[in-house]
Amino acid sequence: MQTVDRQAQPVVAGKPEANPLREGLRLERMAEPCTMVICGATGDLTERKLAPALYNTLLGGFLPPEFTVVGFARRDLTDEVFRQHLLDGINEHSRNKPVKPAIWESFARGIEYHHGNFDDPVAYVELAKRLDRIDRDRGTAGNRLFYFAVPPSLYPEIVNQLDRAGLAANGDRRTTGSKRGWTRVIVEKPFGYDLDSARTLNHEMAEVLDEDQVYRIDHYLGKETVQNLSVFRFGNGLFEPIWNRRYIDSVQITVAETVGVEGRGDFYDATGALRDIVQNHGLQLLAMFAMEPPIEFGAEDLRDEKLKVLRAVKPMARADVAANTVRGQYVSGWVEGARVSSYRDEPEVAPASETETFVALKLAIDSWRWAGVPFYIRTGKALPSRVTEIAVQFRRAPLALFSRAGVPQIDPNVLAIRVQPDEGILLRFGAKVPGQGLQIRTVNMDFRYGSSFAVDSPDAYETLLLDAMTGDASLFTRDDEVERAWAILDPILEAWAAGEGGPLHFYGAGSWGPPAADELLDRDGRAWRKP
């Protein structure tokens, strides 16, 4: 991570002027001058996530005055129309609003729009000329960050076109344009459809780009609580000694959404919950939770440890899939007071679709630390609460010390790490009820980021975009991690496709999934935690 002793200042006529928000503040983390090219810039992702993230990063003083955005898409827009598109997104979705006029005016001077088709070589030649001109006029030093806000099927085409135009290589390897600076590419999920497609995509990108140029983004890893997992474990002598099979009974990872497919029926019906959430968010949360202490908190050390966890996860034999997985699909019901129609009634969803909108599965990590500890993952749409959490159930106390006094068996201790919403950590333990006699009641010790710190946590995209600009790949997924995740899930997908993985269960919108998901844990003498 580079340390830059410089103020974030608005630019007027190519020269910085004082920013009263950051006056006198020495920054420890700031991006280098660079240009961010958003491929697919007119889409929903740019409006809802990227534009607010960039504005808030600038507002926080982490972007240099030279920073420039170029939107690249098929629609024929002017610079002014594109700027207004970004402004509308910031006004609606930013955590800091209303927009500060002086900051927006500074930001807007560095926003341009480039019209072209992604399969048109001329568009990339013209893009290269534009980027060279921006390097000269704004001092972006030949540093380029390309964000692929497009379907993964377009990644190889765009990468190859960038290569032909001399825009893909780092520094002195460029054949045109600036002879210095870096080039990095951020790609969105889903990265592949199965193991074979992920390998093919990795290979196609590797023919042009070095692995250290590719940043596979998973926005869950940019969330404050996920990053705090490592600090919580390795920065506190209290917890790391009990983070193992001797003290932990089981682990539950829940990624629940209240919404349905939200008009994305065509995409979702070809994807499903296992590919959409478990392959990336679910397994990445598992790896972050279960990894061994890295040698250093560098990108490669962290990703090496995550990969070791994924390599230790035992892929299921096809015959075991029905016993260890549950797939469901929502039917009509009520969520947060609103009527939700059945999944099969959604636009662009097949009337007899077998696509799962809910999945629960039991995984085992075959390692010295975690042998015998079941890891349960569940995710679904149209559930009663929007919540992501990791819940750790500890083993019960070995002696029923209070049973002679008439106290029933005490509930096990639970540590719940909430990723969203109300990010924080909850510890549940038993305590004596005040008064005569002996009564024990479960109580909660609850830490919340929002009420414990006097700062507003950055959005995940703010963290990840800044990491990519500073060259920190710690929270991005490496090619071998992606392929190993697919290797874990491929047997499940194959069994479901062959009709050997158990039936598709239906659940009412607003419930916590089909009863079969409860039975999955009930067979082990456990139950899902209700967040």
Q: Specify whether the CB–CB gap between 74 and 115 falls below 8 A.
A: yes
| Tokens of residue 116, six digits | 């072209």
Question: Two tokens at 271?
Answer: 């994807």
Contact 171, 209 (CB under 8 A): no
Q: Which residue has the tokens 């082990």?
A: 524
Q: Which segment of 117-126, 155-164, 413-422 scores lowest on mean pLDDT?
A: 413-422
Domain boundaries, the chain: 11-188, 221-288+316-455+487-522
Exposed, middle or buried: residue 91 (CB in 10 Å: 0-12, 13-18, 19+)? Answer: middle
Query: How far is CA 42 from each of CA 108, 125, 362, 529, rounded to the nearest angstrom?
Result: 16, 21, 40, 40
Average pLDDT along the chain: 87
Give the helix, strand, coil percentages of the chain, each rounded to 5: 35, 20, 40
Active site residue 281: yes
CA-angle at 417, arms to 514 and 396, nearest 5°: 80
Q: What is the pLDDT of residues 221-252, one digit of tens each?
A: 887 778 778 888 888 888 889 999 999 999 99
pLDDT band at 173 (very low <50, low <70, confident <90, very high): very low
* Beta-carbon count within 10 A of 282 CB: 27
- Write out pLDDT tens, residues 193-214: 999 999 999 999 999 999 999 9
The tokens for 247 are 């003290």
Confidence band (pLDDT; 50, 70, 90) for 457?
confident
Alpha-carbon distances, residue 190 vs 218, 268, 281, 283, 353 (angstroms) = 9, 11, 11, 13, 20
Indicate the helix (H) or strand (E) that contains 452: helix 449-452
Please tell me the pTM assigned to this model. Answer: 0.88
Nearest to 40 by CA among 147, 130, 139, 133: 147
User: What does the buried/exposed string (b/e) look like for 56-87 if buried means 16 or more CB atoms within 10 Å of the residue's CB?
Assistant: bbbbbbbbbbbbbbbbbbeeebeeeebbebbb
Question: Catalytic: which of 85, 114, 219, 281?
Answer: 281
Mean local confidence (pLDDT), 156-169: 95
SS3 category, 505: strand
CATH 3.30.360.10: does it fit domain 221-288+316-455+487-522? yes
Taking the C-alpha atoms of residue 486 and residue 417, their distance in angstroms, rounded to an integer, is 26
Report pLDDT for 232: 84
Burial class (CB in 10 A: 0-12, 13-18, 19+), 505: middle
CATH class of the 11-188 domain in this structure: alpha beta
For 27-84, write each residue's pLDDT tens digit: 457 889 999 999 999 999 999 999 999 999 999 899 999 999 999 999 999 999 999 9
How many degrees, rounded to 5, is the angle at CA 197 between CA 365 and CA 165?
125
